[in-house]
């Protein structure tokens, strides 16, 4: 009897272990299936997101571009489709990997005018130069760089608008102390500015061209809508100056040499003005609008300041700045005269710079940037940009 009991016990254990082994095999198979399905979903989603970034960059540079296609992409397939188009453009980016499909949908709207694409950003930098946002820096509005956005990983650094970067954002924004309150996106490249030809031509045809480019053109603005133009320290139009509308009928002002801004209150009774320099622009004093758009969003005062090279702030004496307007350094940087001299830079408008300034110069300012939302629909006349003078598309919403 004992032998039979032992045999039955052995057969029972063998049966139990066979069932266990079968269940373990099923669990392993299901785990592999789940992992494969998850991997396929991730790849399909990445294909769709990448495709939408590519198409967004394309229609930003050419708002008339419409081309539906399906191509092999990242081991799967990418399909781009366009939906109904009235006052908005609907775009579908479809990623497929094996038998998994994911779709990203974006809606783009036309602006009512053809202002520069880049004016929708509080700050655009093409090349970061390895510099980092530091403690106390704050940006209201969209921020973009074509390079790597670096930050000091400090909770006092706050980005209220969306942050986009072409190459990367240092650290993980999800876990960093730096506050990315408006969200972020990597892999977005925007075109760079390489000329101010429209401004130069407009200045020569109804605008104002400084007669002595070998000298520095100095401008002092008056709240009356006048401006005093200096050459070699001598006022070409003595105080109270000349009306901006008399100096330039179309708002374009240009000098092939350096331009020095003496400060003042900008009152533009026309559609605004844009001042261009074929060299550097030096700010001796800050400028603000006579009709402050921070308190009156219907203000019709507009000014653009464009330098072929650098925009330099003379902080020899003045350390704290409050400035309004659209600034652009086509081939240069925003910088300051004195290195390692701290101060506060309060700014309201939109800035474009090719390269971040010297770390010991403009980096020494605590920066407070706020976007002038009027630039979403309007711009200073002949302000440079990839799509100046033509209607353009801007992102309204994005669904994943």
- What is the full DSSP assignment across 164-228? EESSEESS-TTT-SSEETT-EEES---PPP---HHHHHHHHTTSEE-S-TTSPEEEEE-TTSEEE
Range of the domain at 265: 117-399
Q: Is residue 1 part of a domain?
A: no
Grade residue 258 by pLDDT with cuts at 50, 70 and 90: very high
Q: Is residue 25 part of a domain?
A: no
Q: How far apart are CA 119 and CA 393, in angstroms?
A: 13
Last residue of a domain, one of 110, 129, 155: 110
Closest CA to 166 of 147, 185, 183: 147
Same domain flag for 159 and 69: no
Asked if the model's pLDDT at residue 181 lies above 70, the reply is yes
Same domain flag for 103 and 121: no
Q: How many folded domains does the chain comprise?
A: 2
Interval 160-177 mean pLDDT: 90
Same domain flag for 321 and 299: yes
Report the pLDDT value the prediction gives residue 344, as an integer from 0 to 100.
82
Same domain flag for 123 and 104: no
Peptide bond into 240 cis (omega under 30): yes
Grade residue 116 by pLDDT with cuts at 50, 70 and 90: low
Same domain flag for 256 and 354: yes
Same domain flag for 106 and 123: no
Grade residue 388 by pLDDT with cuts at 50, 70 and 90: very low
Last residue of a domain, one of 67, 82, 110: 110
Report the pLDDT value the prediction gives residue 14, as an integer from 0 to 100.
59
Same domain flag for 227 and 178: yes
Q: Which of 100-114, 254-268, 292-306 has the lowest mean pLDDT?
A: 100-114
Residue with tokens 């990203």: 104
Same domain flag for 61 and 138: no
Same domain flag for 106 and 125: no
Same domain flag for 270 and 331: yes
Last residue of a domain, one of 110, 128, 154: 110
Q: Strand 365-371 to strand 138-140: parallel, antiparallel, or no bridges (unpaired)?
A: parallel
Q: Is residue 296 part of a domain?
A: yes
Q: How far apart are CA 59 and CA 3, in angstroms?
A: 84
Same domain flag for 163 and 90: no
Q: Is residue 3 part of a domain?
A: no
DSSP-assigned letters across all residues of 12-63? HHHHHHHHHHHHHHHHHHHHHHHHHHHHHHHHHHHHHHHHHHHHHHHHHH-T
List pLDDT tens digits, range 336-363: 888 777 778 899 999 999 998 764 445 5
Same domain flag for 106 and 195: no
The CA-based angle 140-145-149, given to 5 degrees, is 85
């Amino acid at each position: 009897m004992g032998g039979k009991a032992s045999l039955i016990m052995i057969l029972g254990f063998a049966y139990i272990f066979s069932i266990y082994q079968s269940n373990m095999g099923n669990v392993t198979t299901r785990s592999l299936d789940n992992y494969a399905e998850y991997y396929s979903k991730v790849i399909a989603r990445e294909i769709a997101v990448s495709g939408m970034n590519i198409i967004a960059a394309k229609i930003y540079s050419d708002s008339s571009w419409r081309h539906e296609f399906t191509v092999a992409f990242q081991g799967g397939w990418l399909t781009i489709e366009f939906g109904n188009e009235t006052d908005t453009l609907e775009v579908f980016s479809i990623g497929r990997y094996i038998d998994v499909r994911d779709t990203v949908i974006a809606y783009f709207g036309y602006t009512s005018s053809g202002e520069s694409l880049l004016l929708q950003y509080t700050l655009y930098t093409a090349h970061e130069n390895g510099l980092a946002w530091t403690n106390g820096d704050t940006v209201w509005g969209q921020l973009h760089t074509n390079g790597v956005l670096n930050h000091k990983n400090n909770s006092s650094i706050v980005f209220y608008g969306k942050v986009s970067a072409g190459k990367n954002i240092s650290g993980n924004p999800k876990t960093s102390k730096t506050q990315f309150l408006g969200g972020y996106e990597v892999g977005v490249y925007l075109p760079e500015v390489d000329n101010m030809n429209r401004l130069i031509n407009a200045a020569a045809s109804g605008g104002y061209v400084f007669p002595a480019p070998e000298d520095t053109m100095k401008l002092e603005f008056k709240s009356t809508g006048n401006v005093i133009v200096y050459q070699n320290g001598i006022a070409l139009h003595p105080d109270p100056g000349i009306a901006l509308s008399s100096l330039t009928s179309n708002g374009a002002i240009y000098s092939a040499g350096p331009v020095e801004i003496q400060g003042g209150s900008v009152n533009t009774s026309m559609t605004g003005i844009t001042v261009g320099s074929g060299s550097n622009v030096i700010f001796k004093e800050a400028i603000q609008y006579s009709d402050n758009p921070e308190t009156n969003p219907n203000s019709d005062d507009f000014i653009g300041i464009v330098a072929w090279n650098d925009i330099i702030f003379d902080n020899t004496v003045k350390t704290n700045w409050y400035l309004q307007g659209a600034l652009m350094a086509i081939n240069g940087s925003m910088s300051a005269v004195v290195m390692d001299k701290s101060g506060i830079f309060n700014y309201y408008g939109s800035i474009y710079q090719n390269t971040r300034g010297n770390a010991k110069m403009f980096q020494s300012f605590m920066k407070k940037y706020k976007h002038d939302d009027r630039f979403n629909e309007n711009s200073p006349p002949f302000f440079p940009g990839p799509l100046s003078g033509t209607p353009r598309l801007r992102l309204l919403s994005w669904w994943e």
